[in-house]
Structure 1
């Protein structure tokens, strides 16, 4: 019996019951010839019918069934209208309620039943299709894990996922969902991360790798240290962000809402004037029905829900309708270099000795001692190489002073060590460069990152670090152009020589090199002054000012970053560059659908108005066409649920160690 109860309280119960009563009325009318008159027909009812149509009307059984159909379908509509009036809002339901009640009063039982039945069917279809457009959110909720296997007191215990405590060891077996965010402490497995990053291919996880709740093990066995549980998981944050985003209004939707608050009362006034001038009650009621702005009201939110849902399914989080609409206008994209155009995994390639009293190991030892306290990405390859050669620094690092755009200065013992570019040497008064400029330029010409090392006032050598351009960087730039972006700009702290080499390899349109963080902000502001709508892609740290200034801030590889998920206008959960042109393309498609829907809604109302005054469009026909237009705009929006060419172009972008090495220079920023 539970399914009966579920159906009874479901969205289709009212239209089905009303439809059955309408069919029953037609059957009785046909079989009995409409002769089953009741004795309950008051004279005022007959008089009302004569006034409206020139002939009286009586309560037959067929009419009673049709009236019952109108009551069943119209009850909820009237209740909604009254509730809206209690909040001082004139809703679409009020238009339909007045038209239906008016039709009953003048004896148009069929019109009343047809209008309310079609409106209830429209509501049911609207709810069903809106649920379909929210399917991406439903899928995210569905992948949330229900249970977890944890190690407690040396034994395995299966518990509800929300009861896992921070710091516990969770076991993830083949075929199971990962119940927490965490770090792998033992084992290896291939995880399907599609629910988080949108990538279809499993990702291999081994000791030290991060894993996310809701991902699924396709092979292997993992022991995971829980670092995020319950509402603190990446999946929970994504679900929360998508919920908020799908409910957030775009500027166009806000305008439509304001327009509707004036439009609906205007329809009432038009119907009243038409009725008074023509003395035709049916015409006035028909105008109420066809004037319903249902398709117009739903045209924008359904497109936003579908667009944001499609993006979320592909690992792209868009903050809300306003940002989706702005993204469609993007004409310039500014990209950071390290970790965006490049893989962000540099390696030490050269050690040039400029002091005859030292060896390359000595130069590396001094550089590693200086970098030991640095958080900069280029410190890691130096420290790794020093460890491999057995000259890694011991003990705690000294005080490190970062110099934005130039390098760092630190104390190693009683000596000052500088590591950075020529501007850093100049700032600290090192005049004897020992030929470091020439050595640095030679390395830069080879596409490497030179860093000059000086101890006190003497230059002892130059190190070179190389990174790889991502294999899909050039394809990303070309795809952005295909998506309508006029220019792609690189904003980097590198020297122009190396920046131009990167730009040539990737097809970048414009290069701004040797920039400090505040210079990147100025570059974004300059593009905005030139009339561009600018998207900035960066790591959210050194690029924070530029990200905040840009019209759209894009965080790449945001999975696991609570700050990026909550604050970025667009968060690309995976590390796939092709998600950027995909997000721009999807935004443009969504706005295009919004405009199409507005046109369909307005054109339908105009056509119906012409039909009413020209004759031929009745109340029931008007409601049928009206509900048809609502369904059309919903189905049009659902086209957004299909993948576009960018989302299907690459199922997975692998960071291949064998990819051609395009190496470049980077200074400390």
Structure 2
């Protein structure tokens, strides 16, 4: 019975409204007071039913909810035969709840839109080579899939045949279609706007990037910040205090109508809903713009950040370095290059890949007894020779003598902004390479935007040499630059500035810098949708798009300000209402309930403004981006 009453709340609201209108029509048009009175009595009984059920359910778990206050107030109004007040209060309360749910659902539109983007079927290649449509749950890893123009990419995978432009807004927040060709990665939920591709399924079901995004956004929207937890505790004690205040007023004034009016006016509805709606809208905006905020607490912390520490490679720079300068100190040039290429071929480090790409047509030898020296390089045995490849500290460790010529070259290469790779053969320096990585496009503008948003300190920490780090810092206008930093050195630096009172965010790739990501007040991963980045950080910038960072900072500041506005609106309305009941003649239960419900809608609509938030740079470029860039 209780379930039926609550589930039909919308219909009850409609019936209650019709009865009230009928009653007033009878009174003012038909001049029939009997029908007027009985219509309002019926409206009161029908309207209070779902409210009383919810009050009962709340009291069963020892919670004095808003429903309890309204039920007592309506019952009191009915007992003193103020049927007009009791009917109107119940109707306004039910109507307000309906409007609240309807408007609040709009703040969850981001997760709803994401869910609706989830693909439901896929064209899978059969044993005979043809393609047949199957349910998305039947797709297995390794299957060959066909995606046609206008269709959704069903799972995460790799393009095998064909090319086209894919709208990746559901993953990256960018509406400009990205070109895709053979060997490119594609993600579930994105849309192939033109072209036709065949792809291999690499990740399916909940393991897809899209599936993980939905899961994270749902968890984030259901999480509670410290402010929300405080308000929950506050309202738990506040509502009994309002009930006690009403009782005291009744005992002193002997005015039951005044007492029950206080119950209605003291309802903390806007206060309870104001902060959650801001959080949900903020998280939803981030999800639509390529920023995953993992919980309401992250919003609070990120909005207060005054220092951002960056890893260099893959964060400030593109992570695709190339060999810029080379010096060889032995006569057999090709042999040294063969040894170096053989060692680096076994590494997936960006510098190693740059070296392998540079040394073409090398003869590769078998590599044995490889030892990786953290923060230094690698030592291996190649063709019977001990080969050490790494930085100056590795040469010192191997007791490799660097003569004056080599030291001059090292200083010049560093001055030119190079990362250094030295190669020693059997304890003798044989080669020096200088490798440079380009600064990411648009990073400088984004850093300027961060400064405008109030971030005071922008710091780069890198395992690279100081000259290279200084070069990047100078180009980007960073506050501090520290090179030769091992992972433990980065963590120690972060701990040091935290102890000095700075609120620190660390931006890294989510793989090599996990200690720093964990230690910082906020860990921000340049994710590109990788599993590790999503799991290890507080914030993920999808597609490793640096321009998402100022959007994330600006969004959390706007969300925090929005919470404060909603709290002030809620508290201010309650104070005005309670003051009016004692010091004015116009305040009554109906007016109070109308203002109370209006205040709830105001804070909801105020929170919904966050769904349209855009950073300054995005607002300027929103209408100037070409559909298919060169």
Q: TM-score category by the smaller chain?
A: over 0.9
1:509 aligns with 2:507: no
SS in 1 for 2:434: strand
SS in 1 for 2:338: helix
1:138 equivalent among 99, 112, 116: 112
- Per the TM alignment, residue 557 of structure 1 is displaced from its structure 2 partner at its CA by 3.0
Give me the whole-angstrom Cα distance separating, in 2, the residues matched to 1:505 and 1:11.
62
In the alignment, what sits opposite 2:184? 209
1:232 aligns with 2:207: yes
Give me the whole-angstrom Cα distance separating, in 2, the residues matched to 1:488 and 1:76.
55
In the alignment, what sits opposite 1:160? 135
Give me the whole-angstrom Cα distance separating, in 2, the residues matched to 1:473 and 1:392.
39
1:275 equivalent among 204, 228, 250: 250
- Per the TM alignment, residue 350 of structure 1 is displaced from its structure 2 partner at its CA by 2.8
1:567 equivalent among 530, 536, 543: 536
**Aligned partners of 2:164 and 2:179 also within 8 Å:** yes
In the alignment, what sits opposite 2:3? none
Q: Deviations over 1:287-316 (max 9, x none)?
A: 000000000000110000000000111010
1:78 aligns with 2:52: yes
Give me the whole-angstrom Cα distance separating, in 1, the residues matched to 2:344 and 2:101.
59
1:375 equivalent among 348, 352, 357: 348
**Aligned partners of 2:85 and 2:589 also within 8 Å:** yes
1:97 aligns with 2:64: no
2:295 equivalent among 320, 328, 351: 320
In the alignment, what sits opposite 1:13? 11
Give me the whole-angstrom Cα distance separating, in 2, the residues matched to 1:649 and 1:587.
20
- Per the TM alignment, residue 437 of structure 1 is displaced from its structure 2 partner at its CA by 2.1
In the alignment, what sits opposite 2:364? 393
Give me the whole-angstrom Cα distance separating, in 1, the residues matched to 2:76 and 2:534.
52
- Aligned pair in 2 of structure 1 residues 556, 428: CA closer, same or farther (>3 Å)? same
Give me the whole-angstrom Cα distance separating, in 2, the residues matched to 1:568 and 1:15.
46
Give me the whole-angstrom Cα distance separating, in 1, the residues matched to 2:266 and 2:358.
74
1:586 equivalent among 519, 533, 555: 555
Give me the whole-angstrom Cα distance separating, in 1, the residues matched to 2:59 and 2:231.
20
- Aligned pair in 2 of structure 1 residues 528, 432: CA closer, same or farther (>3 Å)? closer
**Cα RMSD after superposing both structures:** 1.9
Q: Deviations over 1:218-262 (max 9, x none)?
A: 111111111111111111111111011011101111111111111
Q: Deviations over 1:267-297 (max 9, x none)?
A: 0000001011100000010000000000000
- Per the TM alignment, residue 439 of structure 1 is displaced from its structure 2 partner at its CA by 1.5
1:65 aligns with 2:44: no
1:540 aligns with 2:510: yes
Give me the whole-angstrom Cα distance separating, in 2, the residues matched to 1:648 and 1:209.
30
- Per the TM alignment, residue 11 of structure 1 is displaced from its structure 2 partner at its CA by 6.4
In the alignment, what sits opposite 1:303? 278
SS in 2 for 1:191: strand
Q: Deviations over 1:113-168 (max 9, x none)?
A: 11111111111111111110000001101110111101011121101112111110
Q: Which moved more, 1:609-618 or 1:436-445?
A: 436-445
- Per the TM alignment, residue 650 of structure 1 is displaced from its structure 2 partner at its CA by 4.8
**Aligned partners of 1:433 and 1:459 also within 8 Å:** no
Q: Deviations over 1:44-94 (max 9, x none)?
A: xxxxxxxxxxxxxxxx22111112222232211111111111111111111
- Per the TM alignment, residue 434 of structure 1 is displaced from its structure 2 partner at its CA by 7.0
**Aligned partners of 2:318 and 2:439 also within 8 Å:** yes
Give me the whole-angstrom Cα distance separating, in 2, the residues matched to 1:450 and 1:363.
16
Give me the whole-angstrom Cα distance separating, in 2, the residues matched to 1:382 and 1:591.
47
1:220 aligns with 2:195: yes
- Give matches, 1:420-435, under 5 Å: 420-433=390-403, 435=405
Give me the whole-angstrom Cα distance separating, in 2, the residues matched to 1:192 and 1:532.
39
SS in 2 for 1:82: helix
Q: Deviations over 1:587-629 (max 9, x none)?
A: 0100001001101101101100110011321011110110111
Q: Which moved more, 1:523-532 or 1:133-142?
A: 523-532
- Per the TM alignment, residue 394 of structure 1 is displaced from its structure 2 partner at its CA by 5.0
**Aligned partners of 2:338 and 2:365 also within 8 Å:** no
Give me the whole-angstrom Cα distance separating, in 1, the residues matched to 2:260 and 2:469.
69
**Aligned partners of 1:370 and 1:418 also within 8 Å:** no
- Give matches, 1:46-65, under 5 Å: 60-65=34-39
SS in 2 for 1:98: helix
**Aligned partners of 1:74 and 1:97 also within 8 Å:** yes
Give me the whole-angstrom Cα distance separating, in 2, the residues matched to 1:84 and 1:303.
25
Give me the whole-angstrom Cα distance separating, in 2, the residues matched to 1:364 and 1:303.
59
SS in 1 for 2:308: strand
1:129 aligns with 2:108: no
Give me the whole-angstrom Cα distance separating, in 1, the residues matched to 2:65 and 2:515.
44
Give me the whole-angstrom Cα distance separating, in 1, the residues matched to 2:537 and 2:514.
11
In the alignment, what sits opposite 2:328? 353
SS in 1 for 2:349: coil
1:181 aligns with 2:181: no
**Aligned partners of 1:373 and 1:398 also within 8 Å:** no
**Aligned partners of 1:150 and 1:156 also within 8 Å:** yes
- Per the TM alignment, residue 392 of structure 1 is displaced from its structure 2 partner at its CA by 4.7
Give me the whole-angstrom Cα distance separating, in 2, the residues matched to 1:24 and 1:392.
95
**Aligned partners of 1:351 and 1:461 also within 8 Å:** yes
1:404 equivalent among 374, 381, 406: 374
Give me the whole-angstrom Cα distance separating, in 1, the residues matched to 2:446 and 2:363.
39
- Per the TM alignment, residue 413 of structure 1 is displaced from its structure 2 partner at its CA by 2.7
**Aligned partners of 2:419 and 2:465 also within 8 Å:** no
Q: How many residues align?
A: 620
- Per the TM alignment, residue 440 of structure 1 is displaced from its structure 2 partner at its CA by 2.1
1:336 aligns with 2:311: yes
Give me the whole-angstrom Cα distance separating, in 1, the residues matched to 2:8 and 2:373.
65
Q: Deviations over 1:560-606 (max 9, x none)?
A: x2232233200111222111111011001000010011011011011
- Aligned pair in 2 of structure 1 residues 649, 405: CA closer, same or farther (>3 Å)? farther
- Give matches, 1:22-61, under 5 Å: 22-35=20-33, 60-61=34-35
In the alignment, what sits opposite 2:92? 118
Give me the whole-angstrom Cα distance separating, in 2, the residues matched to 1:469 and 1:84.
58
1:609 aligns with 2:607: no
